[in-house]
Structure 1
Amino acid sequence: MKAAHGAPGSHKQPGALRTIGEVSALLGLRQHVLRYWETQFPMLQPVKRSGSRRYYRPEDIALLRRIDDLVHREGYTLRGASQLLEQDASGGEAQRLSNSSEDSGLNSDDSMRKTLSKIREKLRSALEAG
Structure 2
Amino acid sequence: MNTLSDIPVFDDGKDPEALRTIGEVSKALGIRQHVLRYWEEQFPSLQPVKRSGGRRYYRRDDVALVVEINRLVHEEGYTLRGARKAIEDQDGQPAPSAIVTPDMQPQAAEAASDAIIGELIQIRAQLAAALAAA
The one-letter code sitting in structure 1 at the alignment partner of 2:60 is P
Shift of 1:8: 7.2
Show structure 2 runs of 5+ residues with no match: 1-8, 101-111, 117-134
Structure 1 vs Structure 2 CA RMSD: 2.6
Does the CA-based 8 Å contact 1:8-1:26 persist in structure 2? yes
Q: Name the structure 2 match of 1:102.
A: none
Higher relative contact order (CA 8 A, sep 6+): 2
State TM-score, norm by structure 2.
Answer: 0.65
2:10–2:16 Cα contact (<8 Å) kept: no
Selected match of 2:74 from 72, 75, 85: 72
Unpaired segments ≥5 residues, structure 1: 1-6, 98-111
Q: Deviations over 1:46-86 (max 9, x none)?
A: 00000111000000000000000000000000000001101
- Name the counterpart of 1:61: 63
1:101: which partner in 2?
A: none
Could you say which residue in structure 2 is the equivalent of 1:30? 32
Greater helix share, structure number: 1
Amino acid at match of 1:30: R
